[in-house]
Amino acid sequence: MVRWRILVGTAVAVLTAAAMGATASPASAAPTGNGDAVVPTTNVVGGTRATQGEFPFMVRLSMGCGGALYSSTIVLTAAHCVGSTGTNTSITATLGVVDLNSTSKITRKSNYVYRAPGYNGSGKDWALIRLASPVTGLATLPLNTSSTYDTGNFTIAGWGAATEGGSQQRYLLKATVPFVSDATCNSSSMYNGEIIASNEICAGFTAGGVDTCQGDSGGPMFRTGASGLVQVGIVSWGDGCARPNKPGVYTQVSYFASTIAAAATSLGG
């Protein structure tokens, strides 16, 4: 049973340090409006390719996770993707491109990691990575601070596997997934009470077919808010990828927004 959405083999040390936690990254999706019906795409785990510049805040992390640019020096990702809070110069962030092999890519090294206080592998799956130097010219992704935007249709995007058990992708993929209520996600036909309703959010199709997957952990799930795109979720975990009745499970950003913002401020971001 594959639960965490980090690439196996690329982050063994991280998994150990992070109490075996790992996040799934969004596979891909285009921004949508509030509540239109969503028709599953053939994949994402089968999404479609994002275009250059479509999601400028997307970040690929060298340990096999995704992330979102919160500020010019801060990347928001999943707690299960990193080790404990403290100095860390081992992570490379790749930004500014959809093609990871592009010669136009921007790279930055980390200099500090802040993992959610009290993280133990269950809930609280968020972390901040401070970059050694600022990134300029790329849009950031604001946090969702309102439960109003915790429903509807969401966009997922990432460089993770396009099939369960597959390898990471060269090109950024995107897809659209609908909100799944806590009651439905916690039902016996889905996760049978495993969802932490207060701070996790589910999204996906009952029939499966569209989902984030291994290598997508830490990446953002987002949608249109009052003034543009806002980050609603952080790819965290799920049973396999795109299985029927097993939607993706994401850290609910609105629940942690004020805490994340305060932590980012303390890091100078």
Question: Which positions are annotated as active-site residues?
Answer: 80, 125, 217
Given a contact cutoff of 8 angstroms between Cβ atoms, the answer to whether 217 and 22 are in contact is yes
Query: In Å, what is the CA distance from 110 to each residue of 73, 85, 94, 113, 132?
Result: 9, 13, 11, 8, 5
Cα 124–171–125 angle (5° rounding)?
5
Q: Which of 32, 78, 77, 30 is nearest to 55 (CA)?
A: 30
CA-to-CA distance for 266 and 213, rounded, in angstroms? 32
Query: Rounded to an integer, what distance in angstroms lies between the CA atom of residue 116 and that of residue 183?
Result: 26
The span from the CA of 237 to the CA of 218, in Å, is 10
Sign of the dihedral defined by the CA atoms of residues 209, 215, 218, 222, in that order? negative
* Cα distance between the two ends of the chain: 38
Question: Is 224 in a helix, a strand, or coil?
Answer: strand
Cβ–Cβ under 8 Å, residues 141 and 78: no
Residue 189 is encoded by which pair of tokens? 């036909």
Distance CA 170, CA 38 (A): 26
